[in-house]
Amino acid sequence: MVDTRVDLCGITIDNPVIPASGTFGYGHEFAELYDINCLGTFSFKGTTLDPRFGNETPRIAECPSGMLNAVGLQNPGVDDVIREELPKLERVFHKPVMANVSGFSTDEYAEVVKRLDRSSMSDMIGWYEINISCPNVHGGGMSFGTDPKMAAEVVKAVRWITDKPVIMKLSPNVTDITEIAKACEAEGADGISLINTLMGMRFDLRTRKPLLANVTGGLSGPAVFPVALRMVYQTAKAVKIPVIGMGGISSAEDVLEMMMAGAVAVEVGAANLVDPYASRNIVRDLPEAMKKYGISSF
């Protein structure tokens, strides 16, 4: 018998499989297909202070071994999430959920965390995953996650608001991701998750225009797995806090490889958009894969 349980920032979860933000909605959508309580947890859709329609369409494009997206953080805003989405989730999911938070200034990050943390639904939230790939509207549009000082400012802004674990989701579009991770750790982050998508683009040869209305988008899927694995390996060696690995995971074997690189848990992203049962199937296959490779526990 293998033991799939892992400790994620002080909270024990049944297995390390976590559907990634932006690929699993607010959970109740997938609960119509299967019992999502089989998952370790999941990270719900990136939530901002105000409602966002997102970018113009087309904003999704397939490519070999992956996909490009420029959705633009479409979401109903934090107040609607508290009022509408979390009560729906509460009826079908009976574990702590990971709340993914996005913002365009340090004040926005702090306000979203504050409203979630002080809401009537706060007991549902186990962790805050702070997406610092967003452009800083007060800093010339540069993403918070591309500069150690700006990343540290976001950690500082949210850390004093909540007692729940704060996990910083890092962008891979940097020269040295370990410097960003260490800056977050120094300001009190409880964990790191990586990688977010790699920037890319494609052209339509018939129209001679980019496939995405936004021109560029984030590349995800199996194509990015080796890059993600390398960055997780480097980051896990550079910090003492837990690391969640993601980027192209689509099988139980991928989970094991990411754990060997130093991750304590993994997030499954694009695979959920190809097959809505992907995360469930990885959970199902994980014990057998562990036995095959002589792994009794993580």
- For the chain, domain boundaries: 6-292
Q: Of 277, 285, 274, which is closest to residue 65 (Cα–Cα)?
A: 274
pLDDT score of 261 more than 70: yes
Segment 170-183, tens digit of pLDDT: 999 999 999 999 99
Segment 208-245, tens digit of pLDDT: 999 999 999 999 999 999 999 999 999 999 999 999 99
pLDDT at 143: 83
Catalytic choice (38, 63, 134, 184)? 134
Segment 115-174, tens digit of pLDDT: 999 999 999 999 999 999 876 556 555 689 999 999 999 999 999 999 999 999 999 999
pLDDT at 217: 92
Question: Residue 193 pairs with which residues in a beta bridge?
Answer: 169, 244
Q: What is the mean pLDDT of the chain?
A: 95
pLDDT at 196: 93
pLDDT at 242: 98
Residue type, 257: E
**Can you give the pTM of this predicted structure?**
0.96
pLDDT at 198: 94
pLDDT at 136: 57
Print the SS3 string covering 99-164. Answer: EEECCCCHHHHHHHHHHHHCCCCHHHEEEEEEECCCECCCCCCCEHHHCHHHHHHHHHHHHCCCCC
pLDDT at 248: 97
Q: Is 184 a catalytic residue?
A: no
6-292 CATH? 3.20.20.70
